[in-house]
Amino acid sequence: MLGLGPRAERRRRALPASILRLPTIGVDIGGTKVIAGVVDGEGRVIDRIRTETPDKSKSPRVVEDVIVDLVLQLADKHDVHAVGVGAAGWVDADRSRVLFAPHLNWRNEPLQEALSERLRFPVVVENDANAAAWAEWRFGAGRGEDHMVMITLGTGIGGAVVRDGYVDRGKYGLAGEFGHMQVVPGGHRCPCGNRGCWEQYSSGNALVREARELVAEESPVVQPLLARAGGTPSGITGPLVTEAARDGDPVAVELLYEVGRWLGVGIANLAAALDPGRFVVGGGVSEAGDLLLGPAQDAFRRTLTGRGFRPEATVVHAALGNEAGLVGAADLARQVARRFRTIKRHRIERATTPR
Ligand SMILES: [Zn+2]
């Protein structure tokens, strides 16, 4: 039982079971890598390929070419139907345009139309955090929960709300940008132009900034961490701090504790606004496990408004790791697509001849 709401339940019933089992392709376009995979009806990735994300200076057409090429490679080996694309960027309310993508040359880019014209089969475009949340809800840590909030801790904070079997995308498609909620008035400067945004205190970037600042103080307690980083503050990365913390380095544990504490404070704010049943925490930083989630759960309970007089949401680890975006995009394509036809290379090549 998936815990679908009544509307979603009706819509699911409208799709024949045979369609819900069809393999589809998911494409995850990140800042450094583009990963494409064939995903079956149970959310398993049965084949995958990856390439580097084209440079930011390249035209939108170059990124489209990369996507089409990866899809063709997979379609040569698998009988696939429909493609879902998860992109690190803002996707508009009807999921046709990428309004803005910080890592790519996309500004109000009609990606859905461009790709479906070239590929000649159903294409769904979705924000990467929304896609990851959908995957966790369908196949991962959000299963059975009818009101779930996903928080993705990477270099910044992404997020999404899944309610009654739908991704709640907001009026304009931009819901879930939790990282830019202000938690410290006048606090650290954020690239978004404001100060004190949540992701300046709880993210991979925050972890690295704090670690480097500490190392710059030249205190003897940071020597082991500095040595691990090859003796230079610039050698410190998020995974390096996590590894040090796992090995018991008290400074690294403390750094993760702080990021976790701020995570819990932000989650308590989100609980005040949204009141979900479960928070699912994913993204690269969440690989620190309980070193991060333990302090987050404590801070959440301490900060939660009305504590002791209300049911409390659970705060859990994401289950699908870094393939959640790909799995979610593929599954959204499966859910939304109404026409299914096998992807055929000859049709696509005809579609790409000069018009
Ligand atoms: Zn910001």
Q: What is the distance in A from the centroid of ligand 1 to the CA of 271?
A: 20
Q: What is the distance in A from the centroid of ligand 1 to the CA of 105?
A: 21
Q: What is the distance in A from the centroid of ligand 1 to the CA of 175?
A: 15
Q: What is the distance in A from the centroid of ligand 1 to the CA of 108?
A: 21
Amino acid at 214: L
Q: What is the distance in A from the centroid of ligand 1 to the CA of 186?
A: 12
- In this structure, the answer to whether residues 153 and 242 fall within a common structural domain is yes
pLDDT of residue 341: 55
CB 78 within 8 A of CB 49: no
> In total, how many domains does the chain have?
2
In what order do the strands lie in the sheet containing 24-29? 45-52, 33-39, 24-29, 83-87, 123-127
pLDDT of residue 347: 60
- In this structure, the answer to whether residues 115 and 242 fall within a common structural domain is no
pLDDT above 90 covers what percent of the chain? 68
The CATH code of the domain that includes 25 is: 3.30.420.40
Q: What is the distance in A from the centroid of ligand 1 to the CA of 226?
A: 29
pLDDT of residue 350: 45
pLDDT of residue 17: 64
Q: What is the distance in A from the centroid of ligand 1 to the CA of 185?
A: 12
- In this structure, the answer to whether residues 184 and 295 fall within a common structural domain is yes
Residue written as token pair 């859905």: 112
Q: What is the distance in A from the centroid of ligand 1 to the CA of 200?
A: 7
- In this structure, the answer to whether residues 227 and 91 fall within a common structural domain is no
pLDDT of residue 94: 84
* Structure tokens, 71: 């899809």
Q: Which residue has the higher pLDDT, 108 or 251?
A: 251
Q: How confident is the model at residue 344 (pLDDT cuts 50, 70, 90)?
A: low
* 193 domain residue, yes or no: yes
Domain housing 90: 6-135+323-351
Q: Which residue has the higher pLDDT, 139 or 6?
A: 139
Span 224-250, mean pLDDT?
Answer: 95
Checking if the pLDDT of 53 tops 70, the result is: yes
Q: What is the distance in A from the centroid of ligand 1 to the CA of 199?
A: 7
End-to-end CA distance of the chain: 48
- In this structure, the answer to whether residues 262 and 226 fall within a common structural domain is yes
- In this structure, the answer to whether residues 50 and 105 fall within a common structural domain is yes
Q: What is the distance in A from the centroid of ligand 1 to the CA of 310?
A: 31
* 1 domain residue, yes or no: no
Residue 354, burial from CB neighbour count under 10 angstroms (0-12, 13-18, 19+): exposed
pLDDT of residue 342: 56
Q: What is the distance in A from the centroid of ligand 1 to the CA of 100?
A: 15
Q: What is the distance in A from the centroid of ligand 1 to the CA of 198?
A: 7
pLDDT digits (tens, 9 = 90+) for 296-341: 999 999 999 888 889 999 999 999 999 999 999 999 998 876 555 5
Span 199-228, mean pLDDT?
Answer: 93
Checking if the pLDDT of 16 tops 50, the result is: yes
* 275 domain residue, yes or no: yes
Q: What is the distance in A from the centroid of ligand 1 to the CA of 297?
A: 24
pLDDT digits (tens, 9 = 90+) for 238-267: 999 999 999 999 999 999 999 999 999 999
CB atoms within 10 A of CB 276: 22
- In this structure, the answer to whether residues 269 and 202 fall within a common structural domain is yes
Q: How confident is the model at residue 1 (pLDDT cuts 50, 70, 90)?
A: very low
Q: What is the distance in A from the centroid of ligand 1 to the CA of 181?
A: 7
Q: Which SS3 state, helix, strand or coil, does residue 52 take? A: strand
* 64 domain residue, yes or no: yes
Give the chain's mean pLDDT.
89
CB 304 within 8 A of CB 107: no
Q: What is the distance in A from the centroid of ligand 1 to the CA of 319?
A: 27
Q: How confident is the model at residue 100 (pLDDT cuts 50, 70, 90)?
A: confident
* 140 domain residue, yes or no: no
Q: CA–CA separation, 110 vs 118, rounded Å?
A: 13
Q: What is the distance in A from the centroid of ligand 1 to the CA of 248?
A: 32
- In this structure, the answer to whether residues 47 and 114 fall within a common structural domain is yes
Q: What is the distance in A from the centroid of ligand 1 to the CA of 194?
A: 5
Checking if the pLDDT of 171 tops 90, the result is: yes
- In this structure, the answer to whether residues 314 and 327 fall within a common structural domain is no
Q: Which residue has the higher pLDDT, 39 or 341?
A: 39
Q: What is the distance in A from the centroid of ligand 1 to the CA of 190?
A: 5
- In this structure, the answer to whether residues 330 and 300 fall within a common structural domain is no
Q: CA–CA separation, 47 vs 172, rounded Å?
A: 34
- In this structure, the answer to whether residues 106 and 174 fall within a common structural domain is no
Q: What is the distance in A from the centroid of ligand 1 to the CA of 57?
A: 24
Q: What is the distance in A from the centroid of ligand 1 to the CA of 196?
A: 7
Q: What is the distance in A from the centroid of ligand 1 to the CA of 324?
A: 24
- In this structure, the answer to whether residues 158 and 300 fall within a common structural domain is yes
Residue 10, burial from CB neighbour count under 10 angstroms (0-12, 13-18, 19+): exposed
Q: Where are the beta strands (DSSP E) in the chain?
A: 24-29, 33-39, 45-52, 83-87, 90-91, 98-101, 106-109, 123-127, 147-153, 157-163, 166-167, 278-282, 314-317
CB atoms within 10 A of CB 316: 19
